[in-house]
Structure 1
Amino acid sequence: MIGKMLLVFIVAALVSVRSSAQSWTADNGNGTYTNPLFYDEFSDPDIIRVGEDYYLAGTTMHCLPGLIVLHSKDLVNWELASYCMDNFNLGDQFRLVNGKESYGQGIWAPCIRYHDGKFYVFSNINGVGMQVFISDNPKGPWEHRNMGGNIYDLSVLFDDDGRIYAVHKYGSVQLTELKSDLSGIVEGSTREIIPEGNAMGEGHHIYKIDGRYYIISADYSPMGRMQCARSDKIDGPYETVTICQRESFGTPIGHMVHNVGLGHPVPGDGFKFNVGGQGGNRLGCATVHQGGIVDLPNGEWWGISMLDFTSVGRTVALSPVTWKDGWPYFGTEGNLGRVPRTWFKPNTGKTVAPHAPYVRNDDFDGKKLREVWQWNHEPVAGMWKLSGGKLRLNTMPAKDYLWARNTLTQRGIGPVSAATVELDFSHLKDGDIAGLGLLNMPYAWLAVERSAGTFVLKVKDQNGDKISQGVSLSPKSAVYLRVTGDFDKDVAHFSYSTDGRNYTNIGEEVLMPYQLKTFQGTRYSLFAYNRNGRNGGYAEFDNFSIVEPLADRRANLPIGKVVMLTNLGNGNRMMAMRHGIVHGVARGSKDYDSDAVCFRVHDRGNGRVALEAMNGTGFITVVGEGLSADVRLMEKETAGSLFLWQDMLRDQCMLMSMRTHRFVGCEPTTGEPYSADNAGTTPNRKNGTVFKVEIRN
């Protein structure tokens, strides 16, 4: 009920924020960035640098165009360079016909490389083999070659002696030599270089750095973590260490479907979904895992990895890399293996204005769709078009929404977003259904259905086979459809309007759990199909827009404000004690002092702040390091008084000490004073390091 009330409130506020809406960008505009880089899905990231340019490749599964490549000058702000492929051309399963599908299959876990003036993207298509796409320009066009072989979760190395190798497989790490012309693999060259049991896992990334071979992999069982192996020889022997683990950014464990996964049939109507609940403190793949590293011209190293973000799916985190004893640890000196949620931007020497990677809104007035759009499986030519400033989708037969062809999708974007589209349904024929959907398993949609000459608007939620009471519509008027999703909480709600201004909620709150069949987060979609087994009429869509009410984070750093900080671990407020100790105190306690629980936030540049107690006891200051990193009150500021504000969204924060690179916190149950020796938070945010921020003035 609380979630539904929140969504209703957000929907009501959308009209007022629509004109000034912006999309999520990690760049805070003050020299810092906040993870995730994108608050929408970008799975299996791999990164390279070419001169002063950076390129990121990611998985697109069954969606088209496929195999995405992004470009950046500063590692924080990205834009689309190209997709490597427009179609699979590999049979019925990629076209959703004859009862075949490729949900969660398709092309995945790419490796991007640059060698001798050419760009290469290697990837795998399940059951088909390793693919390579080659271009002189990352914007394409790309030449495609099918190299075959059972090579997946791969990474490619162009070695100094001219030989080309792929490392691949799950569990044990396999090495296979590739032919110099990339026409296939060298027969008989495959061998095991790291045996199973060494916790290397999957999603390998291989590098040769200063004459040494490094392989970075993701070990997701029993917890998500990043492993690194190194050797002086490509065949080994390799030694391994863990370079990142337990980093969740306080991301909760989301809802998940336990009986829908890879290899399972597409669930039809009547299927009973086994959905696990949200929350908890378990560490699984909701931690930073699977990614690679890249060097800057100035010698800095940075890491890219992915993190499961509830119903958004898998998204991307950027981390400083600290080399220690010859190992590339994610994190900073003093807190190796943990990734800051907010940190200073890489020193690439380039100034880039903050921007999102995609233009999400589309009025369909152009000759092409916006590049953010992807089709669910291969589209059918001639059954859709852009005409008269609208997107026309012709209906084709499908037994339900998940089998509808020419469904156009965008990644769902968090933490909260609302998608709105105008639908002209007047040309639908009997049996046609068209509308705005949430592509997931279970799916949900808000759509107009024509039956016996009448037009009825309704909500369908596959989870529980729920259909809302219908609303009759006149074919002489358009209807505006909206879905608002809270992707951190895995819930959404539909609404509609007949005038484009006043919206009415329809149907019940919809759950958006993650599942391993599509292996993607929940997507917004525009769709049309016929449930009577024939081609029908058509639907026309116009003015698709996305509004993100929480994307503008400029006010989340309360510079100059007086705040109270309530610890989520025990509900106590941070208080400046007269004897110089920073402690927690419960409201109603005899020690409670309204001035002592208030702190003014002073700006010290680049996201750094100093906190001054309003009872006159001084500035919160970290004294000492490690286990003795006490948090005290000092009359005057020192270097220990600087903290990097970690924006946790929704009026929550953490405070990273610039002295220790660790976080201010307390043990929630013992009543100990605060210290700055905490490595980070937990998925439930209740280990004593996360604060609720209340602004007093």
Structure 2
Amino acid sequence: MTKLAIACMLSLALTLPAAAQQEPRADSGLSMKTWTPDNGNGSYTNPLFYDELADPDLIRVNEWFYLTGATMHAMPGLPLLRSRDLVNWEFLGYAAGELDLGPSYRLERGRNIYGQGIWAPSLRHHNGVFYIFANVNGRGTWMYSAINPKGPWTHWKMKRSLQNLSVLFDDDGKAYAVWGLQQLRIAQLTNDLSDIVPDTERELFTKADGMGGNAHFYKVNGKYYIVSANDAGGTMPAARADHVYGPYEVNPAISKEEGFGMAGGYRLKNRQYPFEVVPPNPASRAMTAMHQGGIVPTEAGEWWGFSMMDYNSAGRLLSLSPVTWQDGWPYFGLPGNPGHSPRTWVKPRTAQAQQSAAPFVRSDDFSEPALKPVWQWNHAPVEDKWSLSERPGFLRLRSMQAASFWEARNSLTQRAIGPVSVPTAALDASGLLENDVAGLGLLNLPYATLAVEKKNGKLALVLFDQARNQSTRIGITATRVWLRAECDFRTEKARFSYSFDGERFQSIGQEFTMIYQPVTSQGVRYALFNYNTGKQNGGAADFASFEVYQPYPHGLTRPIPYGQTIQLASFRGSAGLAARGEALVNAAPTPFTILDLGLGRAALQSGNSYVTIAADGSAALQPAQSGVTQAFQWIETPTGELALMSLLTNRFLRIDPRTGAVRADAPGPLPDGSDGARFIWSKK
């Protein structure tokens, strides 16, 4: 039998042209590629966005899906996006404008709302109206409504503060809210949705019940479901009942994915200098699990799960999971492996196809009359201290007094994007005044900034590393300078550099460690800023452009080597996948040819035989007999290793580190490699 005939027999679906996996850098930042989860071959790879979208909520209205998430102290807030296929999204607008509710919202009097602001929105549609119920921490629960999701949106404050609520419009028209953190409560809402109906409030769960908070409330086939997040274990529990008030039965984990092989990253032990950084512990998997999400049906009758997942310093990113209903529970994952979601899988079936797209253009030459929607202000901006028109073709930030970058007003930010990104800002510093500090920052705690500073009438380039409380200073005479940060979110390391011509860059300072921390409750953000450490305000920092280069804008950093011969070495092992007659063993790796089965799937051929999986997960080399037994989903972990998921067992091929046995029975590749389910592949 020819290779072509075998590939045709094994193919499980129509093969689409494979998308290019790595793009060359363009001459202009405005044409640079950005992350898209659509692999161009009928499959997708999580995350849906490689930049933060925390506390997601997602609904379907007819043929469209709509999405929003928390925005904390960033303004404007509550982004609205829509999609036809749950994979490719377009940005519609923001529901919440600037929240100017006092000095802390404006970074005044030494106060701030870092990590506060807008949390955990509940997005709903009822009787032709879109609603977003959201907590404005310390200011109660606000409701936003619109007929058109593009806006305009109106809002008002509810009479009760219902922290982390989810709203359900029942079949009889009544509305209910579930809210709370470790202790969930329920009540019926009034017809105007501004309050709860008297005597309808009940306690549903205590902390001991294990339901957690950030609930999503649904009714499916006559049953009530509450999906929540358990912060203690990082899993996603669910509850169900026949009546809206219960009693509810609890399932402790409808999702328990350990993180696609990604370990928890660097963490802060304290929140002020001297900062103590705790290095990653690959054996700890609790906080990289998929959690805090919900479920949504398609018009075709499929169910899909959405949730956020901690991608360390990149923030909390949105993931999409196939849902398998088992024993009446909506498990995230596939049959045979409930609770564990594949990072790469087949796109949802929808009535209309949607082209691969990304919701935001990240680079900006500031030539348009408005900022691109990817930009958000750090706290409420001062409108007369920034401009796109004072000097056409430039973003002008005028300085205001601040002790540091952390307190600087009118810092313009956008979410950093992974897995690797390189932001570059072109700055004209000729308008700076004495004690002005302007440049490019990585907004985080600790943060890092590369800035031009004016002191005693002279300019200097200054890299400040807050973690070390250390400055690297270089005197300069040029007023035009390019500032760059090379950010690798796989290793959580960043390096800064500068240029005077935009082409030749010189490294400055030491490597900076990026950290996820609960103070901002956000991942790293790029920031453009200008502040004054003295008493003089009004100096002009003119930014000519901001470009974001991403070397890996697709779900694979390396293309699947279809038609090529490769070797598979064990990750953190001394050998690899080897063929010995009809047996697969742990030994010096032997060559395998990779056959294209479509949808990002592959078969592994050795001689005239193929890696074949039995129903019990055992693996051997056999001639082609049944397509599904020899088909694997080719999945790259967030840190770049290969994981091969058998389409028969929906579990991962592994070499048992203790026995050397080769099996496809791993639920998901573990971060520490102790299950033997991660490989390093190289061409033969």
Q: Same fold (TM over 0.5)?
A: yes
Q: Does the Cα contact within 8 Å between 1:147 and 1:185 map onto a contact in 2?
A: no
Which amino acid is the alignment partner of residue 606 of structure 1?
L
Higher relative contact order (CA 8 A, sep 6+): 2
Which of 450, 455, 472 does residue 454 from structure 2 map onto?
450
Question: Who is 2:292 aligned against?
Answer: 290
Corresponding position: 1:211 with 2:234: no
Alpha-carbon deviations, 1:520-551, whole Å to 9, x = none? 00110000000003313110001211001122
* TM-aligned CA distance change 1:392 to 1:19, over 3 Å: closer
Q: Distance in 2 between matches of 1:97 and 1:195?
A: 39
Q: Counterpart of 2:503?
A: 501
Asked if the contact 1:15–1:501 (Cα under 8 Å) also holds between the matched residues in 2, the reply is: no
Aligned to 1:4: none
Query: Which position in structure 1 is the counterpart of 2:594?
Result: 601
Residue 63 (str. 1) matches residue 74 (str. 2): yes
Residue number in structure 2 paired with 1:400: 404
Alignment-derived partner of residue 610 in structure 1: 603
Distance 1:569 1:507 in 2: 32
TM-score (norm 1): 0.92
Deviation, 1:686, is 3.9
Quote the Cα distance in structure 2 between the aligned partners of 1:650 and 1:98: 42
Deviation per CA, 1:571-596: give whole Å up to 9, x if none: 31210111x1111114xxxxxxxxx7
Cα RMSD of the aligned pairs, angstroms, is 1.6
CA shift, 1:471, in A, is 3.2
| From 667, 677, 681, the counterpart of 1:693 | 681
The match for 1:162 is 173
**1:19 Cα offset (Å):** 9.1
Find the counterpart in structure 1 of residue 240 from structure 2: 230
Give the CA deviation at 1:682.
Answer: 1.4
Q: Which residue of 2 aligns with 1:240?
A: 250
Are 2:152 and 1:141 equivalent residues in the alignment? Answer: yes
Q: Secondary structure at the match of 2:287?
A: coil
Is residue 2:621 matched to residue 1:630? no
Aligned pairs for 1:403-422 within 5 A: 403-422=407-426
| TM-score computed with the length of structure 2 as normaliser | 0.93
Query: Corresponding residue for 2:137?
Result: 126
Q: 1:611 to 1:18 in 2, by over 3 A?
A: farther
Pair 1:536–1:496, CA change in 2 (3 A): same
Q: Deviations over 1:417-462 (max 9, x none)?
A: 0000110000000010000000011110000000111010110001
- Range 687-696 or range 522-531, more displaced: 687-696
- Tell me, what secondary structure is at the counterpart of 1:574? strand
- For 1:302-334, what per-residue CA distance to the aligned partner results, in whole angstroms no more than 9, with x for missing partners? 000010001101001100001111111111111
1:569–1:687 Cα contact (<8 Å) kept = no
Q: Quick one: which of 560, 564, 568 aligns to 2:567?
A: 564
Query: Does residue 660 in structure 1 map to residue 649 in structure 2?
Result: yes
Cα separation, partners in 2 of 1:277 and 1:649, compared to 1, 3 Å: closer
Kindly indicate whether the alpha-carbon contact (under 8 Å) linking 2:257 and 2:341 is maintained by their aligned counterparts in 1.
no
- Give the Cα separation in 1 of the matches to 2:639 and 2:284: 22
Structure 2 residue runs without a partner (length 5+): 1-23
Deviates more, 1:367-376 or 1:85-94: 85-94
Q: Is the CA contact 1:36–1:317 (under 8 Å) kept in the aligned structure 2?
A: yes
Does 2:165 correspond to 1:174? no
Query: What is the rounded CA distance, in whole Å, between the counterparts of 2:29 and 2:107 in structure 1?
Result: 36
Question: In structure 2, which of residues 355, 358, 364 is the aligned counterpart of residue 356 of structure 1?
Answer: 358
Q: How far is the alpha carbon of 1:75 from its aligned partner? A: 0.3
Residues 349/510 of structure 1: CA separation in 2 closer, same or farther (3 Å cut): same
Q: Which residue of 2 aligns with 1:273?
A: 275
Q: Which residue of 2 aligns with 1:646?
A: 635
Distance 1:149 1:533, change over 3 A: farther
Q: Structure 2 residue aligned with 1:27, among 38, 41, 49?
A: 38
Q: Structure 1's 20 and 252: CA in aligned 2 closer, same or farther, altered over 3 A?
A: farther
How many percent of aligned residue pairs carry the same amino acid? 44
> 2: distance between equivalents of 1:15 and 1:166?
49
**Residue 21 of structure 1 contacts residue 549 of structure 1 at CA under 8 Å; is this kept in 2?**
no
Partner residue of 1:113 out of 124, 134, 154? 124
Shift of 1:211: 1.2
The 8 Å contact of residues 17 and 549 in structure 1, kept in 2 or not, is answered as no
Kept in 2, the 8 Å contact 1:569–1:668? The answer is: no
**Cα displacement (A) at 1:637:** 4.8
Alpha-carbon deviation of 1:636?
2.5
Per-residue deviation, 1:17: 10
* Deviation by residue 1:98-145 (Cα, 9 ceiling, x = unmatched): 111100000110010000000001110111111110000111110111
Aligned to 1:669: 658
In the TM superposition, residue 648 of structure 1 has moved relative to its aligned partner by 2.2
Distance 2:475 2:356 in 1: 43
Residue identity matched to 2:107: L
Cα deviation, 1:591-642, whole Å, max 9, x if unaligned, reads xxxxx711010001111111101xx25111112x2xx221110123522111
Shift of 1:354: 1.3
User: Is this contact kept in 2: 1:398–1:533, CA < 8 A?
Assistant: no
